[in-house]
A and B are shown apart, each in its own frame.
Chain A
């Protein structure tokens, strides 16, 4: 890599400019958002001071940070609860989504029969379904899990189905010519070919699962048995404890970002050897 960045040959002005721009762009991609973020936080702080805004309406960033540290035990405990729901929901979504997708590719008839119902489940807002779930499911964890699952499984199902079906026709012929069984075709051809699609769906599903977990807890929050981040937010809202509210909010956002970054990394590592999408990122 360094060999490419530090060419030995003399470059003409145009190429040199392009190289410089590319380098600046690479740095800017990280630096600019950080600078804007720092500016925004600074402005937030100044606005609080200049206008003398009371803490229970808009706490200063420093106060939020302090709360994050002081209430760490409570907040991270809650984060753990939310994370558990998120990851379990995501895992179930992967199992359910991929499983259904595989079933769909085994028979066009199954796909035709059941895909519309998956769409119905997807387009109905989860908050509208929740009261029903509340009636039928007793266990609090199971309720939240079901919500996270419903929200997260569709992108995995639809992406994986698309991937399993978008296999090169000639490769399918090749497998047929060599007398491949259905299982061999699935294992050696369709599943690897669907990998980029599946990973794309997984990236979306990771974020959605977190949203599902939090939203479900919000809706369920009235019953007051839960202890995830959402209930911390509701609680803080009742008590006009804005610093803790902000702290919990920041934790949720950070969690979402980390999930996205980790899944992006997983996807990149899995595909970098052969798939175009990973090659472009690598440059």
Chain B
């Protein structure tokens, strides 16, 4: 599936923090255009660190991070684990924010914001403030905000980890639909095997201490994937495969620590 041209190449990338923690070591990773890549791994294996490096929020200590296509900062969207909304601002203003910071007026932004809110099923909530929304709705606002600049790459750091399963399934479906329509590239951090198999065309399994890429798994199931895929034998087999690799990665960490 990952047939697009390379978009981002991470070459032997490492990150050591000033407190001496080596969060990443020797990471080689290629992200292709149109990919839906999941970074899967146990807590503390450096998934968030990797994502922050890609976003340009942090600099690699060693190695190189190379954009093959001119994807300016402008074209990267970021969705955090928490909705991270401005609590005093309405839903509309929250989604408008990235455009507003680029000097786009409310009027100019209105059609784009309105369309996105419709896509994430939040039409009619433009004037609500975050505290009036449920957790799932807040996350939808956050996704809409991540997409409002029409980014080439959407980076998501465990965006649905705090949600209940039903809401999560629904948002997974919605996200896939958006991804197929807009054809942006997604790097999706998760520690759920099931979520990563359902969503991605490629899973990068990471191991901890130091954080590194343990293995990659291609998920060749065809898109569009919907709820019927969730119950298919294919899905079950792929989950088992990914889960095995994850266990392997975790065990390799134990071995290293012993």
Residues of A within 8 A of B (CB): 168, 170-171, 173-180, 184, 188-189, 192, 195, 273-275, 279
The answer to whether A180 and B87 have CB atoms under 8 Å apart is no
Cα separation A150 to B174 with both chains bound (whole Å): 57
Cα separation A69 to B96 with both chains bound (whole Å): 58
A141 to chain B, nearest CB (A): 38
The answer to whether B78 and A274 have CB atoms under 8 Å apart is no
Q: Please provide the 7 A-B residue pairs with the shortest distance between their CB atoms, ordered closest to farther.
A: A170-B84, A178-B101, A274-B87, A274-B88, A178-B98, A180-B101, A170-B80
Task: Enumerate B39-95 residues with CB–CB distance to A below 8 Å.
Answer: 52, 55-57, 73-74, 76, 78, 80, 82, 84, 86-89
CB-contact partner of A179 in B57, B73, B97, B130, under 8 A: B73
- Complex interface: chain A residues within 8 A of B74 (CB): 179
- Complex interface: chain B residues within 8 A of A279 (CB): 131
Residue of A nearest to B77 (CB): A177
Main secondary structure of the interface of A (DSSP, over half): helix
Cα separation A178 to B55 with both chains bound (whole Å): 11
Known: A180-B101, A188-B101. A173 touches B78 (CB 8 A): yes
The answer to whether A179 and B129 have CB atoms under 8 Å apart is no
> Does B100 interact with chain A (Cβ within 8 Å)?
yes
B129 to chain A, nearest CB (A): 5
- Complex interface: chain B residues within 8 A of A177 (CB): 55-57, 73, 76, 78
Residues of B within 8 A of A (CB): 52, 55-57, 73-74, 76, 78, 80, 82, 84, 86-89, 97-98, 100-102, 129-131, 149
The answer to whether B102 and A274 have CB atoms under 8 Å apart is no
- Complex interface: chain A residues within 8 A of B102 (CB): 178-179
- Complex interface: chain B residues within 8 A of A273 (CB): 88, 129
6 new A-B contacts, CB < 8 A, other than A170-B84, A171-B84, A173-B57, are A170-B82, A174-B80, A177-B78, A178-B97, A179-B74, A192-B89
- Complex interface: chain A residues within 8 A of B86 (CB): 171, 188-189, 192
The answer to whether A188 and B80 have CB atoms under 8 Å apart is no
Can you list 9 A-B pairs with a CB-CB distance of less than 8 A?
A170-B82, A171-B84, A173-B57, A173-B78, A173-B80, A177-B57, A177-B73, A178-B102, A179-B102
B44 to chain A, nearest CB (A): 18
- Complex interface: chain A residues within 8 A of B130 (CB): 274
- Complex interface: chain B residues within 8 A of A188 (CB): 86, 97, 100-101
Known: A188-B100, A188-B101, A274-B129. A174 touches B88 (CB 8 A): no
Cα separation A171 to B101 with both chains bound (whole Å): 13
Cα separation A192 to B102 with both chains bound (whole Å): 19
- Complex interface: chain A residues within 8 A of B84 (CB): 168, 170-171, 174
Residue of B nearest to A168 (CB): B84
- Complex interface: chain A residues within 8 A of B87 (CB): 274-275
B77 to chain A, nearest CB (A): 8
B112 to chain A, nearest CB (A): 15
Residue of B nearest to A273 (CB): B129
- Complex interface: chain A residues within 8 A of B89 (CB): 192
The answer to whether B88 and A192 have CB atoms under 8 Å apart is yes
Residue of A nearest to B73 (CB): A179
Cα separation A19 to B78 with both chains bound (whole Å): 46
The answer to whether A175 and B57 have CB atoms under 8 Å apart is no
A283 to chain B, nearest CB (A): 15
- Complex interface: chain B residues within 8 A of A180 (CB): 101
Cα separation A171 to B42 with both chains bound (whole Å): 25
Cα separation A158 to B149 with both chains bound (whole Å): 37
- Complex interface: chain B residues within 8 A of A192 (CB): 86, 88-89
